[in-house]
Structures are given as C-alpha cells and as structure tokens.
Amino acid sequence: MDAVRVALLRDVLAGTEWLQATRRFAGALRSSVVPHGGLLLVGGEAYEPWHLAAHLDDEAAWSGLPELSPTLVRHRAPAGSPAHLSVTTDRLASAGRGDTLLVVSPWAPGAGLLERVHDARRGGATVLTLDGGDGELRTLAHDALTAPPSAGEGPDASPLDLDTVQHLVSAAAGENHGPAPRGGRGFRDRLSRLADALTAPPPPRW
C-alpha cells in the first residue's frame, strides 16, 4: 500500500467510525505495552502477520517507543530460523502480567490457539485482537477491532479489509504517543516517514 492510497483512504474515512476506531485501537495498543513487558504478535496457523510486525518495528524506532517492537510468535518455526523468528506458540504459556498479546486472524483461529490465548489472559496478559469477526476470539479480548470480511467491489463496498486496517493501526500507533519532543519531526517529516513505511519492504530483521 502506497502513502497516496493511505492519505486518500483517511480522507474517505474522515468523519466515519472506521478512522476513529483504528486510531482508538492504536491508542489502546500503545497504552497497553509497557517498557519492561513484551508485545507478542501472533496470527492463525495459516496467517502470519509479517507486515504488521515489520511496520510496528518501524514505528517503535521512529516514535521512541521501543515497547511497540513486537515478538512474532509462530505456530511452526523451520529449522535454522534466526532466534527472533524462532519463537513459537509455546511462548504464550509463560505470558503474564506486563505482556500484551495481539492476535491477528482473518479467520477462526482454531481451538489450539484459543486455548493458548485463554491461558495468556488468565496469566495476566492483556489480549487485543484484530480479527475478521470470530466471536470466540473476541470473548477473550480486552479490546478488539473487527475488520470487514472483504474490501469488495462496487459503489457501496467498504474500502477496508484486515490488511488495510493493520496499516492504519500501525501508522497510528506511533502517532498517538502525544506531542513530539523538542527537535522532533514536523508534519512533512512524519508524512515522509509514513510514505517510507508503507512502500518499503520488511526490514532485514524480519
């Protein structure tokens, strides 16, 4: 997604519940992470949120909020994967107070993941979900945002789908941290930063 499309999308969404909802959820995400905790990002077995992980990592660096940098939790880590890409869902068993678990799943996440998310919440972790409308997943969330199932076509189609929502949330997460520090970036610099984030491939870390 390029920066022009994001800017146009924000113009289209201005005054609607969606722009407000994505910014509200981004604020909830930002406020839930703590400096000495951990942001755990997990998708379904058939869906790994790579781009969201990369964009949040960028936002963490640009906004001065290192706690926004996520740990990508995977259902299967191939042999030989680097350490930061070898964290499996076993990590969720030790998630507790101070941890934030962000679940991103366009489909039903499956009983196995639901059980692990339940255990993480019971252990004290804050659970947030970006989903396609799965009721069971939402019941486990402290805060949730459900995207339309498909962007669709035609004049009445929603301009949003889950991928688009992720871009809006990650872009807003760093913006919601309050006034820029002295000597911080101005509007043009932030716009340039957003353009770079949305058009660049995932950084080498991912």
The closest alpha carbon to 112, from 75, 86, 148, belongs to: 75
Domain count, the chain: 1
Using the structure block, give the residue that is written with the tokens 């995977």: 74
Is the residue at 206 inside a domain?
no
Q: Is residue 205 part of a domain?
A: no
Q: Is 54 within the bounds of a domain?
A: yes
Contact call for residues 197 and 167 (beta carbons, < 8 A): no
| Full domain range(s) for residue 144 | 3-199
Spatial separation of the C-alpha atoms in residues 101 and 125, rounded to whole Å: 7
Residue 97 in any domain: the answer is: yes
Distance (Å, whole) CA 112 – CA 50 = 21
Pairing of strands 71-73, 99-105: unpaired
* Distance from C-alpha of 37 to C-alpha of 161, rounded to nearest angstrom: 30
Sequence letter at residue 114: L
- Whether 71 is covered by a domain: the verdict is yes
Which amino acid is it at 48? E
Q: How many angstroms separate the CA atoms of 151 and 153, rounded?
A: 7
- Res 160: pLDDT: 76
The answer to whether position 90 is within a domain reads: yes
Three-state DSSP string of 2-67:
CHHHHHHHHHHHCCCHHHHHHHHHHHHHHHHCCCCCEEEEEECCCCCCHHHHHHHHHHHHHHCCHH
Exposure class string for 69-106: b at 16+ Cβ within 10 A, else e: bbbbbbbebeeeeeeebebebebbeebeeebbbbbbbb
75, part of any domain: yes
* CATH, residue 159: 3.40.50.10490
What's the whole-model pTM score? Answer: 0.80
Separation of alpha carbons 9 and 149, rounded Å: 17
Answer whether residue 204 is part of any domain. Answer: no
Per-residue pLDDT of the chain (206 residues; tens, 9 = 90+): 455 666 777 787 777 788 889 999 999 999 999 887 789 999 998 899 999 999 899 889 988 899 999 999 999 988 888 998 999 999 999 999 999 999 999 989 899 999 999 999 999 999 999 998 889 999 999 999 998 865 455 445 566 788 888 988 988 888 765 444 434 444 455 555 555 555 555 555 56
